[in-house]
């Protein structure tokens, strides 16, 4: 392949001549100029032929396999229907304005090469190899995402990479920094509402002060060969962005403790205490769909359920997350309509949240057992319903922490 050399491309800009065609096809009215926050296009890139991630496999076997299983590889509208269906709904509701407001972070390659018809394989690869390895620094704040791309050489953390005919390598210090991830993992909507602030949360945490980067927790890796054609190196960054089961750094994100309070009449007060001990940012972080829930259950010695809470009826004590509202105060608002944050119950790095519960006690005497679980959930029930998403993928609740307590009655 001939390395492409285009200097100074800034994020996605509205070069989108073809975008207009697509919008007509979607029978959308005028192209709303919420897009006017865009830096004008430096160049048209229809001549760029990005390589698909799969062409890297021959030499970067492990890295390619890992990336294929990552959320980055399936960030586009087809592979992730939660994003895809919201994207299309937002296009309708904003008359196309979100095309350049959502697309460039989730469907990286098509925006640089103007391939909105997805004629090339690489355009359906979500957050793809060649895009991430073209990022050389921050760009104008108005670009989405705000990066400067240097197309051609693949940039990485190796100063003197072994030379190959297939591509030119370039050293980049930026790629080892949290700011690199922050370009995509932080954004606000057109009303100035911070939808995702993972980078800001990290920046304000003790991890930033200690120099612990996103890459150190999320791409640990170990010794090995970067390429079958190169030497063994002390660390090859893991590209699978594995979850807590496979990644030690993510296993103990939070602790949960139960504490008994006063008993008055037939109600028992109890406190659930959640501490963010392991995440380098708030939990949950990022998109407002992501939630942590507290589920509590009181049982007797025969395992009969005497009481349990319903987190979604009790947002202020049982749910940790971000709740957005629109101009009219209607909530939860979609990210592209939100004009304010109604409630922010995310637990910042190192912080503790305490929730109070009033539990009705049964008349029957005998020892009881109170169990609490802290669960991670990827989408709200009403979102799954409204967008017709598969329950097993998006409604699955993953156990983060657990606590139990014996209760004497009386
Ligand atoms: C070009 C934009 C972009 C860059 C750069 C980027 N990400 Fe992402 N990342 C995304 C998108 C989009 C998703 C969402 C994928 C999905 O869920 O569909 C994502 C998903 C993730 C996830 C999985 C989240 C989950 O809910 O499972 C992690 C972890 C992550 N990124 C960490 C990082 C780290 C660490 C870096 C820096 C080394 C980074 N990302 C750089 C765009 C980016
Ligand atoms: C979300 C952005 C992102 C994507 C997508 C991505 N990479 Fe990387 N890659 C990185 C980062 C960040 C590093 C450096 C991590 C570090 O040093 O801490 C890296 C490092 C590398 C390295 C150097 C290995 C090392 O650890 O020294 C190679 C080679 C590489 N990537 C190839 C690929 C290939 C091939 C793909 C696709 C199959 C890919 N990358 C996809 C962000 C990405
Ligand atoms: C013909 C084999 C071959 C192919 C195909 C190939 N690479 Fe490489 N690549 C290498 C070798 C060899 C190195 C140097 C490894 C070393 O020095 O340890 C390298 C290094 C890299 C680096 C690190 C650069 C640095 O200085 O840190 C990145 C990033 C990278 N390749 C990305 C890619 C991507 C993305 C693709 C697919 C689009 C790809 N490579 C395809 C062989 C290949
Ligand atoms: C000290 C280690 C650490 C650092 C530093 C760190 N993270 Fe995380 N990250 C975690 C843990 C732990 C989790 C939660 C794992 C879980 O339960 O899903 C997590 C989860 C995530 C998720 C998934 C959140 C969700 O709700 O699905 C994303 C995205 C993410 N991190 C991105 C980043 C980015 C971007 C940075 C840098 C700005 C970063 N992380 C820095 C440890 C870290
Ligand atoms: C600046 C980059 C950026 C922009 C712009 C952006 N996103 Fe994202 N989005 C991300 C990243 C990074 C993630 C993954 C981590 C997280 O949850 O923040 C994500 C996650 C999501 C998720 C959760 C996906 C899942 O499966 O868990 C949805 C839904 C989503 N985005 C929709 C949208 C929509 C709709 C728009 C436009 C209105 C949009 N995004 C604009 C970067 C962006």
Does ligand 2 lie within 6 Å of residue 239's CB atom?
yes
Ligand 4 center from residue 218 Cα (angstroms):
7
Q: What is the pLDDT of residue 33?
A: 28
Q: How far apart are CA 149 and CA 11, in angstroms?
A: 7
Indicate the average pLDDT of the chain.
88
The percent of residues above 70 in pLDDT, for the chain, comes to 88
Ligand 5 center from residue 186 Cα (angstroms):
9
Confidence check: pLDDT of 82 > 90: yes
User: By alpha-carbon position, which residue is closest to atom 27 of ligand 1?
Assistant: 71
User: By alpha-carbon position, which residue is closest to atom 14 of ligand 1?
Assistant: 75
Q: What is the pLDDT of residue 192?
A: 94
Instruction: Classify each residue of 159-177 as buried b or exposed e, where b means 16 or more C-beta atoms within 10 Å of its C-beta.
Output: eebeeeeebbbbebebbbe
Does ligand 4 lie within 6 Å of residue 244's CB atom?
yes
Task: Please give the average per-residue pLDDT across 23-37, as a whole number.
Answer: 32
Q: Which ligand is closest to the CA of 70, given by its number? A: 1
Q: What is the pLDDT of residue 262?
A: 92
pLDDT digits (tens, 9 = 90+) for 274-286: 999 999 999 999 9
Residue 42 corresponds to which tokens in the numbers above? 């430096």
pLDDT band, very low/low/confident/very high, at 46 (cuts 50, 70, 90): low
Which candidate, 236, 304, 294, places its Cα nearest to that of 270?
Answer: 294
Report the residue among 127, 130, 137, 199 best suited for mutation to probe ligand 1: largest number of ligand atoms under 8 A from its CB.
127
Q: What is the pLDDT of residue 211?
A: 97
> What ligand 4 atom has the least distance to the C-alpha of 376?
17
Confidence check: pLDDT of 40 > 50: no
pLDDT band, very low/low/confident/very high, at 112 (cuts 50, 70, 90): confident
pLDDT band, very low/low/confident/very high, at 231 (cuts 50, 70, 90): very high
Ligand 2 center from residue 42 Cα (angstroms):
27
Q: What is the pLDDT of residue 35?
A: 33
Please state the separation of Cα 207 from the chain's center in Å.
Answer: 19
Confidence check: pLDDT of 130 > 90: yes
Q: Cβ atoms within 10 A of the Cβ of 28, count?
A: 18
Confidence check: pLDDT of 34 > 70: no
Q: What is the pLDDT of residue 365?
A: 86
Q: How far apart are CA 355 and CA 316, in angstroms?
A: 8
Does ligand 2 lie within 6 Å of residue 134's CB atom?
no
Instruction: Classify each residue of 259-269 as buried b or exposed e, where b means 16 or more C-beta atoms within 10 Å of its C-beta.
Output: eeeebeeeebe
pLDDT digits (tens, 9 = 90+) for 295-336: 999 999 999 999 999 999 999 999 999 999 999 999 999 999
For the ranges 42-46, 70-74, 156-160, 366-370, the lowest mean pLDDT is seen at: 42-46
Confidence check: pLDDT of 194 > 60: yes
User: By alpha-carbon position, which residue is closest to atom 10 of ligand 4?
Assistant: 279
Do 405 and 291 form a contact (C-beta atoms < 8 A)? no
Do 47 and 20 form a contact (C-beta atoms < 8 A)? no
Which candidate, 99, 113, 103, 115, places its Cα nearest to that of 31?
Answer: 99
Q: Which ligand is closest to the CA of 188, given by its number? A: 5
Confidence check: pLDDT of 113 > 50: yes
Please state the separation of Cα 279 from the chain's center in Å.
Answer: 13
pLDDT band, very low/low/confident/very high, at 47 (cuts 50, 70, 90): low
């Amino acid at each position: 392949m001939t390395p492409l050399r285009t200097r100074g491309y800034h994020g996605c800009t509205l070069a989108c001549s073809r975008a207009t065609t697509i919008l007509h096809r979607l029978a959308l009215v005028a192209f709303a100029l919420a897009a006017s926050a865009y830096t004008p296009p430096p160049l048209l890139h229809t001549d760029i032929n990005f390589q698909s991630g799969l062409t890297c496999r021959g030499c970067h076997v492990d890295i390619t396999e890992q990336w294929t299983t990552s959320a980055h590889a399936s960030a586009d509208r087809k592979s992730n229907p939660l994003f895809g269906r919201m994207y299309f709904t937002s296009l309708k509701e904003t008359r196309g304005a979100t095309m350049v407001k959502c697309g460039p972070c989730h469907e990286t390659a098509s925006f640089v090469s103007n391939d909105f018809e997805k004629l090339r394989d690489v355009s359906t690869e979500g957050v793809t190899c060649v895009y991430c390895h073209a990022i050389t620094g921050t760009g104008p704040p108005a670009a989405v995402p705000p990066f400067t791309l240097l197309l051609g050489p693949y940039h990485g953390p190796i100063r003197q990479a072994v030379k190959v005919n297939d591509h030119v390598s370039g050293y980049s210090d930026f790629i080892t920094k949290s700011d690199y991830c922050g370009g995509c993992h932080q954004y606000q909507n057109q009303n100035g509402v911070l939808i995702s602030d993972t980078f800001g949360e990290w920046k304000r945490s003790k991890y930033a002060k200690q120099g612990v980067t996103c890459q150190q927790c999320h791409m640990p890796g170990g010794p090995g060969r970067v390429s079958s054609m190169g030497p063994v190196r002390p660390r090859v960054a893991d590209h699978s962005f594995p979850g807590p089961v496979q990644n030690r750094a993510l296993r103990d994100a939070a602790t949960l403790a139960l504490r008994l309070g006063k008993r008055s009449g037939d109600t028992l007060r109890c406190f659930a205490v959640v501490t963010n001990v392991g995440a380098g940012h708030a939990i949950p972080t990022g998109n407002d769909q992501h939630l942590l829930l507290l589920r509590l259950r009181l049982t007797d010695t025969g395992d009969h359920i005497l009481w349990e809470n319903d987190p979604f009826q009790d947002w202020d004590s049982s749910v940790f997350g971000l709740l957005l509202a629109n101009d009219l105060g209607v909530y939860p608002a979609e990210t592209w309509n939100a004009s304010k944050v109604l409630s922010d119950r995310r637990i910042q790095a190192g912080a503790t949240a305490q929730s109070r519960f009033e539990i009705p006690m049964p008349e029957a005497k005998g020892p009881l057992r109170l169990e609490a679980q802290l669960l991670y959930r990827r989408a709200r029930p009403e979102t799954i319903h409204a967008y017709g998403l598969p329950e097993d993928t998006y409604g699955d609740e993953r156990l983060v922490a657990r606590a139990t307590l014996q209760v004497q009655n009386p």
